[in-house]
Each structure stands twice: as C-alpha cells, then as structure tokens.
C-alpha cells in the first residue's frame, strides 16, 4: 500500500510504472572511458539524428548508434548502457524490461505507461527486429 500526501491508502494495482522508449546520452570528458560514473563534459551531447534533441535518442536511434558497440550492464539498476563515439547512453533492452516487469508483477502494480510509442522502431529498419520491437516485447512479457 502506498500513502497519498493526505495519508490515504493507495492500492498498488492503481499504480503504473513509466517506461521510456528512448535513451539519454551524455558527452564524456574522456571519450575512451566506458565506466559508470565517468566525468561528463559541459559540451552538450550529440543530437539524435532524427529527433534532433541533444542527448535524447529515440529507441530506434539507440539501435542505430549502438551498431557494432559493446553493451555494458549496471547490475545494481538492471539496465544497459553503451559508449559510442564519446557519448555515454543509457536505455532499456529486453533484459532490463524483464527486470522492470518482474518488479511490476511482484509488487502487484497495475501495469506500465510507455513514453512514447512513436519513439519505438515503428518501421523495423533500425533495430532489425520487426516493427515496434520495444513495445511488442514489453507487451509479450506483461
């Protein structure tokens, strides 16, 4: 049970977990480092090549940028990250979605809210895993 600000009980099944269909990128001070907690630069990170937002890469852009790049894992958070061309990017993959859905189910939450469906690989051309691979996989494990 969660408590509202006024102290009223809020059942867990009324809560939904927000899941992001995008990655967040940071420019590294040393582009040759790939560790969690590495110093980031004051120079803005690269724009998503389609979203044109600095440090905001849609799910399909993360697939594009990560081609041929080794994926790393943060065990304490159950999330992946990658370093590509001096950019550190955190995002979700099937393993992190598995962990989040397990948490949702074990705590009896109501479900998920994905931000935003148009950030998935709706054409299937970038991730090479069919159309809407992020949401399709998420739906399959819920």
Q: What is the tens place of the pLDDT at every residue in 23-58?
A: 999 999 998 888 899 999 999 999 999 999 999 999
Buried b (16+ CB within 10 A) or exposed e, 15-36: eeeebbbbbebbbbeeeeebee
Give this prediction's pTM: 0.90
What confidence score (pLDDT) does residue 58 get? 97
In the chain, domain spans: 17-141
Domain 17-141 listed as CATH 3.10.50.10: yes
Residue 19 · residue 138 · CB < 8 Å: yes
């Amino acid at each position: 049970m969660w408590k509202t600000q006024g102290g009223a009980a809020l059942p867990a099944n009324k809560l939904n977990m927000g899941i992001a269909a995008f990655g967040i990128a940071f420019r590294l001070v040393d582009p040759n480092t790939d560790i969690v907690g590495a110093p980031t630069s004051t120079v803005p990170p690269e724009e998503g090549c389609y979203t044109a937002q600095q440090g905001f890469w849609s799910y399909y852009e993360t697939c594009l940028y990560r081609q041929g790049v080794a994926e790393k894992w943060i065990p304490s958070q159950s999330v992946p990250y990658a370093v590509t061309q001096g950019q550190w990017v955190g995002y979700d993959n099937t393993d992190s979605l598995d962990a989040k859905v397990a948490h949702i189910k074990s705590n009896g939450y109501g479900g998920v809210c994905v931000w935003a469906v148009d950030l998935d690989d709706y054409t299937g051309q970038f991730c090479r895993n069919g159309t809407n691979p992020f949401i399709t996989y998420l739906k399959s494990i819920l």
